[in-house]
Chains A and B, each alone.
Chain A
Amino acid sequence: MVKAIEAQGIPAVHICTIVPISQTVGANRILPGVAIPYPTGNPYLTRNEEVAMRKKMLLTALKALSENIDSQTIFD
């Protein structure tokens, strides 16, 4: 899906936990997720900490969308 969206000229960042799958499928912008059942969360944090972590992750995701890249890139 992420590839088909980017093919239309819209940059798309893939947040996923099993990075090798995303690489094999061919996503261009990859951001490793936290865990399979909660890629953008962490139930062991307090609610405030968790939202702060999510915001931080999204800032990295936005950075991934703003960069000009030539090939598959993992943003950490």
Chain B
Amino acid sequence: MNKIKYVHYLNQFYGQIGGEDKADQTPFIVPNSVGPGKEIEKLLGDEGEIVATIICGDTYYGDNLQEATDTIIGLLKGLDFDCFIAGPAFNAGRYGMACGSISEAVYKNFNKPAVTSMYHENPGSEIFNKEIYILKSGKSAVSMRKDIDKLVNFSKRLVRDEYIGFPDEEEYIPQGRRINVQMEKTGAVRAVDMLIKKIKGMDFETELPMPVFDRVRPAKGLETISKCTIALVTSGGIVPQGNPDKIESANASKFGKYNIDNVNDFIENEYITVHGGYDPVYALKDPDRVLPLDALKQLELDGFIGKVFKYFYSTVGNTTAVSSAKRFGEEIGQDLRNNNVDGVILTST
């Protein structure tokens, strides 16, 4: 049998060209395996090889979703390959977006199997799960070996057009499809079985999980904005110099609340960012680029708004658990209500 020809997608970090300083890198192609791709090839043995690796900076991809995708599709035109693998992206948000987006585009443009792997809380997993298979990875590169092993095995089966089972047993993100299967018992018998289990207080598994619409009803719009108090909140990690609350640069466990009564502008060195997931050069030079205090204070002076609330709230939204973010939002929202704040501007990087 011929060797399976793979194309592999990596970000700047795993593509070994650099860290956040190279996150603006535009997509380029190399005719061999790189970084995690070496491990993929090792596992493939005689069965396959990586004929090309695409490397692109995370910030470039995130800022230019469409252009980045188009460029990469252009790079792949005319290339002879059988399968596309992206990542694994673990819980890295921008990387997950890139892996999902490019895998879906390759699948749609070339009609070749494409598969990626990321942590189930990665936003990319909820956006790109419908067309392609996204295998569930660990949270960080600690599980790299295991996740690559899964990717390789799964991709081989896709290439051979083998039967793929249900999301739970195969450990991929559900795609929202319905598939006909033959069961031993009829629906009526299964339903009664479930009902009896439910009445007895035993565990049972529904065959039709209800979708969770975790939506929030929009609050009423502000009427007289010139009399309103507006608060600033960010997940971009802007804090006073020295990071007094020791907010973590990734997977934050807390948020900070800082007085800006007498601050009209975030000045370099007085305020910094502690976010570990984007190039901090621009924000360190002028933190207003992430949390626009100077402009909001001017709008207060010009009478467009009543007041800037005298505290701002900050945390780091870098691989931070959804449950933590929810808790921060609830606590901040409660505090804002207690202080009669009318509206909130929240910035994310």
Chain A residues close to B by CB (< 8 Å): 1-18, 20-22, 24-26, 28-29, 33, 35-43, 50-51, 54-55, 57-59, 61-62, 65-71
Q: A10-B336, A10-B344 are in contact. Are A57 and B292 (CB under 8 A)?
A: yes
Per the bound structure, the CA–CA distance linking A76 and B349 in Å amounts to 18
Per the bound structure, the CA–CA distance linking A71 and B344 in Å amounts to 18
Per the bound structure, the CA–CA distance linking A74 and B39 in Å amounts to 42
Contacts of A62 in B (CB 8 A): 225, 230, 299, 304-305, 343
On whether the beta carbons of B346 and A43 are closer than 8 Å, the reply is: no
Question: Which of B123, B219, B282, B289 contacts A11, CB < 8 Å?
Answer: B219
Within 8 A of A (CB), among B268-323: 278-283, 285-286, 288-292, 294-296, 298-299, 304-305, 315, 317
Q: Smallest CB-CB separation from A73: which chain B residue?
A: B218
Contacts of A20 in B (CB 8 A): 65, 97, 123, 127
On whether the beta carbons of A24 and B292 are closer than 8 Å, the reply is: no
On whether the beta carbons of A1 and B329 are closer than 8 Å, the reply is: yes
Per the bound structure, the CA–CA distance linking A41 and B278 in Å amounts to 15
Q: A43-B289, A55-B298, A58-B299 are in contact. Are A10 and B346 (CB under 8 A)?
A: no
CB distance from A41 to the nearest CB of B (A): 3
Question: Which of A14, A21, A54, A69 contacts B346, CB < 8 Å?
Answer: A14
On whether the beta carbons of B288 and A36 are closer than 8 Å, the reply is: no
Per the bound structure, the CA–CA distance linking A70 and B219 in Å amounts to 9
Cβ of B328 within 8 Å of any chain A Cβ, yes or no, is yes
Question: Which of B63, B288, B327, B346 contacts A5, CB < 8 Å?
Answer: B346
